[in-house]
Amino acid sequence: MFDTLDTVVAGRRDLDAREAAWLREVAAYDRSEDWRGDGYLSCAAALRDRCRISPGTARATVELARKLEVLPALAEAFGRGDISSAHARVVPTAFTPERAGELATVERD
């Protein structure tokens, strides 16, 4: 019975790590502005169209990808599968330029 749970947990950690890797690719695509050459007005528009996701999900994905770039410890933990995608979304949701200093101390801990 525990082998099954361990397998399920390992699969979830792998999914989270793969999502983190995908978000790094999204951030790189966003920064590159290659979406302009691909005929889109924004990275989110490209994701919406080509990944077949809702506009809100596309925008949230790009925002999360951008915020993970400035929160490297969080991004690394997510990339290792040490935290779930749900957890990875909580801190960046609270992250604003006004709160950056306060969150930087959390990031170091």
Q: Mean pLDDT for each consecutive 10-residue tract of the chain (109 residues)?
A: 84 94 98 98 98 97 94 93 89 74 61
Distance in angstroms (rounded) separating the CA atoms of residues 31 and 87: 24
- pTM metric for this prediction: 0.82
In degrees, rounded to 5, the angle at the alpha carbon of residue 80 between the alpha carbons of residues 13 and 98 is 110
CA distance 25 to 97: 23
What burial letters (b/e) apply to 19-44, b meaning 16+ CB within 10 Å? Answer: bbeebbebbebbeeeebeeeebeebb
pLDDT of residue 50: 98
